[in-house]
Amino acid sequence: MTLASKITLGRIFLVPVFAVYVARYGMSVSAGSPDEALRWTALGLFVFAAATDGVDGYIARHFNQKSKFGAFIDPLADKFLLITAIVFLSAFPWGADDWRIPPWFAWLVILRDTLIVIGIILVKRSAREVHYSPHWTGKVCTVTQMFAIGWVMLKVGHLPPVYPCLVAAVFTLWSAVNYYLEASRQLRRAPLAPS
């Protein structure tokens, strides 16, 4: 196993630790005595885990450590981190006046990613390979989701979390439509996979 893949696996192992700190901080908020050390630890873990995405990619590219396993596990690790953050930050309050990611947004993200996985499976069954280059809406979707997570965790008090989540929701839906259209195109023109 390459160093890049080990770093990616390390990111996956950090996610449950991050989730525990999110939950513990949320419980301290619910109890009326927020433990800010827990919040900053959760935030630090999230930033560190997100930063390792760039590190493993750099190592894989510059030290010729690209592998099929790495190509498979890296986006999985990214999704695991993002979805865990969104789900846990919607399940636990992070401040007064129900300061959290709205549950509807968590369900939207889960539904989108589930449909994308189903689409990939259908295309793989019908086509020899899945050919997809990332679209800008998918990248903006990820950035806006990370922004919404940061908004909640940093407790940016200017606007409630619903507003950055609405922006992220637009790009979440938009990117889902793009994935659907691309999958439809590939299914229409793909030869049947050998049985």
The DSSP code sequence of 126-142 is HSSS---PPPHHHHHHH
Using left for φ > 0, alpha for ψ between -120 and 50, and beta otherwise, residue 159 falls in beta
Whether the pLDDT of residue 130 is over 80: the answer is no
Q: What are the pLDDT digits (tens) for 30-68?
A: 999 999 999 999 999 999 998 888 888 788 888 887 877
Mean pLDDT of 10-24: 95
**Hunting for tokens 């390390």 — which residue is that?**
10
Alpha helices (runs of H) in the chain, residue ranges in sequence order: 3-30, 36-62, 68-91, 103-126, 136-154, 162-189
Name all domains of the chain by residue range, CATH numbers in brackets.
Answer: 1-93 (1.20.120.1760), 101-195 (no CATH)
Q: Among all chains, which residue has been given the structure tokens 């900053």?
A: 40
**With bands split at pLDDT 50, 70 and 90, how would you rate the model's confidence at 22?**
very high
Residue with the bigger pLDDT between 131 and 26: it is 26
The terminus-to-terminus CA distance of the chain in angstroms comes to 32
Model confidence over 140-162: pLDDT tens digits? 998 999 999 999 999 988 889 99
Query: pLDDT band at 195, cuts 50/70/90?
Result: very low
Distance CA 119, CA 182 (A): 10
Better pLDDT: 54 or 90: 90
pLDDT tens-digit profile of 110-129? 999 898 888 778 777 776 56
- Specify the pLDDT at position 154: 94
